[in-house]
Structure 1
Amino acid sequence: MAKDFNSLQVVESYDAHIRKLIPGYELVHQQIQAVLNCHVAEDAHILIIGCGTGYELGYLMVLNPTWSFTVTELSENMLNQTRQRVEAAGQLHRVNFVLGSHTTFEQASCFDAVLSILVTHFIPLSEKTNFLAKAFELLKPQGIFLSFDLIQAHSNFEQRVLPEFCQMQGLSASQATKMMQRLEDDFELISQQHYQSLLTEIGFDQIHCFSQIFSYVAYCAFKTSMD
């Protein structure tokens, strides 16, 4: 059964639980921060697709006080949690909150960066191209797209090691088993080669895989060539 991301119980436990599920969760976010620092200006406007409870937004706001943000989220309770976090920090003036998908946005070329962190692997195969193409359309020229997602495993290696690692992070054996079943039932995984091909076909340039932990891969790509 798919996890209900609008459930208050899921929302309240999300931040603690995800750190047990995702290898290198904190490290990847630090890498994303470093990539953004190298490629976006001080007055950047950044789109975060699927902001969840706002962890990613929160640390970016603290580290980059001159950036502004638009965040989307399909779960109303998740978005409310993000809004409460931003309000508590006194930063509501820097964030535009959108309950819905970026694919419905009518504007184009309006963001310096678009982030899709742990989102694309949930998108149905038939919708992935449109999902990524809209992110491309929303970027300004020379804008950067960043993603971090689970891909198809090359072998049984990851299927054996990933649940073991997650138990070391605090999951119980039964939770690890359920996690692996969810990967089969709820995720729409594609190969790394397929993902790179999609980015290329859409028009992205300078595509780099800048991090990989087991079958979780992080990519950056640009709307036009970068020197």
Structure 2
Amino acid sequence: MAKDFCNPQVVEGYDLHIRKLIPGYQLVHQQILAILQAHLSQDAHVLIVGVGTGYELGYLLQAFPRCRFTVTELSQPMLDKAKDYVALWNNDNRVNFILGSHIDFEHSPQFDAVLSILVTHFIPFEHKLEFMQAARRCMKMNGIFLTFDLTQFSFKQEAEALQQMCLMNGLLEKQVQAMQSRMQDDFYALSTHETFNLLREAGFVQVHSFTQVLSYQGFIAEY
């Protein structure tokens, strides 16, 4: 059964749960921050697609005190949680919170970076190209697109290894079983090769992998 991200109980427990669910969660975010620090100017404009409860928005507001941010989210409870979480660092109103999708934007090239962290794997296969093309159309020349998602298992032990890591991180056995079921219901995972090809088809010129923990992979695409 697909997880309901509008459920207040799901939203409240999301931050603790995601750290147990995603191997190397903290390290991935450290890498994202480092990449953006190497790329962005201090007055850049950043789009976060699917801001969730606002974790990356929080550390980016602190790291880039002059940057502006636009964030989208399909869940009103998630968006409200993000607003509350970052309020301390957003006292100068540098964040534009949008309930909806970046696909609905008027696609003027305004963003220096677009982030899609643990979002793209939820997009059905038939809509992935449109999703990525919309991100690219939002970006300025020399902008970057960062995505980190579940990809297809590439060897037979990988699924079992992922389950074992989740147990090591503190998930209960029943939660791991629920994760297995959700992978069938919720996720539209591409292979590494398919991801590279789709990003290039969307109009990105340079595509590189910047991190991998088992089947979770991060990609950086330049335009």
Same fold judged by TM-score > 0.5?
yes
Q: Would you say 1:15 and 2:20 are equivalent positions?
A: no
Please show how residues 1-227 of structure 1 align to structure 2 within 5 Å.
1-91=1-91, 93-223=93-223
In the aligned structure 2, how far is the partner of 1:62 from the partner of 1:39?
Answer: 16
| RMSD over aligned Cα atoms | 1.0
- Match of 1:23, SS state, is coil
Q: Give per-residue Cα distances to partners, 1:94-131, cap 9 Å, x unaligned.
A: 10000000000013210000000000000011100000
Q: Give per-residue Cα distances to partners, 1:72-93, cap 9 Å, x unaligned.
A: 0000000001111222444351
In the aligned structure 1, how far is the partner of 2:35 from the partner of 2:192?
Answer: 20
Gaps of 5+ in 2: none
Task: Say if 2:62 and 2:89, in contact at 8 Å, map to a contact too.
Answer: no
In the aligned structure 1, how far is the partner of 2:166 from the partner of 2:216?
Answer: 13
Task: Say if 1:86 and 1:92, in contact at 8 Å, map to a contact too.
Answer: no
Task: Say if 2:46 and 2:111, in contact at 8 Å, map to a contact too.
Answer: yes
In the aligned structure 2, how far is the partner of 1:99 from the partner of 1:216?
Answer: 27
The aligned amino acid for 1:159 is A
- Match of 2:127, SS state, is helix
What is the CA-CA distance between 1:51 and the residue it aligns to?
Answer: 0.2
In the aligned structure 2, how far is the partner of 1:32 from the partner of 1:41?
Answer: 15
Task: Say if 1:75 and 1:99, in contact at 8 Å, map to a contact too.
Answer: yes
Task: Say if 2:122 and 2:188, in contact at 8 Å, map to a contact too.
Answer: yes
In the aligned structure 2, how far is the partner of 1:106 from the partner of 1:90?
Answer: 25
Structure 1 length-normalised TM: 0.96
What is the CA-CA distance between 1:62 and the residue it aligns to?
Answer: 1.0
- For these two proteins, the number of residue pairs brought into alignment is 223
Gaps of 5+ in 1: none
Q: Give per-residue Cα distances to partners, 1:154-204, cap 9 Å, x unaligned.
A: 122111101111000000111111111111221011111011001111211
Task: Say if 1:111 and 1:140, in contact at 8 Å, map to a contact too.
Answer: yes
Percent identity reads 52
In the aligned structure 1, how far is the partner of 2:135 from the partner of 2:24?
Answer: 25
In the aligned structure 2, how far is the partner of 1:110 from the partner of 1:21?
Answer: 34
Indicate how the Cα distance of structure 1 residues 123 and 92 shifts in structure 2: closer, same or farther if over 3 A, else same: farther
- Match of 2:157, SS state, is helix
- Match of 2:189, SS state, is coil
The aligned amino acid for 1:55 is Y
The aligned amino acid for 2:29 is H
The aligned amino acid for 1:207 is V
- Match of 1:96, SS state, is strand
The aligned amino acid for 1:70 is T
- Match of 2:116, SS state, is strand
Dislocated runs of 4+, deviation >6 Å: none
